[in-house]
Amino acid sequence: MEEQIKVLRQQMEEALAAVSSKDELAAFWQAYLGKNGSIAALMKGLGKVDKEQRPVMGKVINQFKAEAEEKYQAMREKMEAAELEAANRSEQVDITMPATRVSAGALHPLTLVKNQIVDVFAGMGFEIFEGPEIEDDDHNFTRLNVAKNHPARDMQDTFYVAEDIVLRTHTSGAQIRVMDAQQPPIKILAPGRVFRSDSDATHSPMFHQMEGLVVDKNITLCDLQGMLDKFVQAMFGEGIRTRLRPSYFPFTEPSVEVDVSCFECGGKGCGLCKGTGWIEVLGGGIVHHKVLENCGIDPNVYSGFAFGIGIERITMLKYGINNIGLLFENDLRFLKQFQE
């Protein structure tokens, strides 16, 4: 038996020297130290040894086992250390390398301007109301005093989704929805996307409007102008004035176009204002008594004003953008100029 152990020790040392992976090391453990391994087999063989010799041989086998375990353990530690070192090497960071720049996103210019407009009016007590983008004929036209066959329907090239269902051509439908739902006093701002079949340097088939509506007792055109003065000063600078020009919208009477004094030349006349000193920025007026009636509000008691701001128009004026297409191409070279 001693001879057998000697051979086995030789084999074990050779086997261990040949181990080069964790799997091979596990196989080594199975072969020598496992439940059915060579050393366990030696132990079982003890039964055949002479009774007097048995304790001595048992001690020798145990010693061999301890030796094998120690060698196995040492090999395992060596392999783990090598593995750790390899991992450290591969994860090494060179702190002198230049950092990768993180490219931060920013708000789109239309969002910047929309937020700014909302801030100005929120400061005056307006609440936000958002109507649906797909609107029925009733809200988009009829109850805004634009009956079927009314010539004003030709003012807007409409996308029809179905008969009597349109992609809203303006945010004015929100007026009807709000007045249906509540009695005055009303003070709302309705921002959103609107759609018209129109496309050139200053028109896009999809664009953004901001509708404003105030209904209360004794509301006049003076209230509208006073409030718009505050608005344009916040957007374009102190000292900017407004001027109202008569206009026509079916849902307001009287209707006005609102001009601001040119913020480029201060009113002397330049390319931006085409020499007039004034720039048209939005439309509005006193809510037509028929529109109030259509929503169950008594025009003899209440009056109101409404206005519609083109967000693209304001954005283009504010940043000197001459083609509306730039706002929708999402060219990063363009958009990055608005990063704050």
Residues of this chain that interact with Zn ion (CB under 5 A) are 262, 264-265, 270, 272-273
Contact in structure between 160 and 137 (CB atoms under 8 Å) = no
By beta-carbon proximity to Zn ion, the closer residue of 189 and 260 is 260
Residue 320's nearest CA partner among 263, 282, 244, 252 is 263
Burial class (CB in 10 A: 0-12, 13-18, 19+), 76: middle
Smallest distance from Zn ion to CB 317, Å = 11
- C-beta separation of 20 from 54 below 8 A: no
Measured from the CB atom, the residue of 271 and 296 that comes closer to Zn ion is 271
Element (H, E) at 118: helix 109-122
> Shortest Cβ distance from residue 266 to Zn ion (Å)?
7
Phi, psi dihedral angles at 210 (to 5 degrees): -135, 110
Name the residue nearer to Zn ion (CB basis): 196 or 313. 313
- Using CB atoms, what's the residue nearest to Zn ion? 262
Please state the closest distance from residue 307 (CB atom) to Zn ion, in A: 23
Is the CB of 112 or the CB of 272 nearer to Zn ion?
272
Q: How far is the CB of 124 from Zn ion (least distance, A)?
A: 28
Task: Kindly tell me which of 12 and 279 has the beta carbon lying closer to Zn ion.
Answer: 279
| Helix, strand, coil percentages, rounded to 5, for the chain | 45, 20, 35
Q: Are 262 and 278 in contact (CB under 8 A)?
A: yes
**Of 189 and 262, which CB lies nearer to Zn ion in the complex structure?**
262
The nearest distance, CB 237 to Zn ion, in angstroms, is 13
Residue linked to tokens 């060698």: 71
Q: Which residues contact 272 (CB under 8 A, 6 or more apart)?
A: 262, 264, 265, 279, 317
Coil, helix or strand at residue 208: strand
Q: Give min distance, CB of 315 to Zn ion, in A.
A: 18
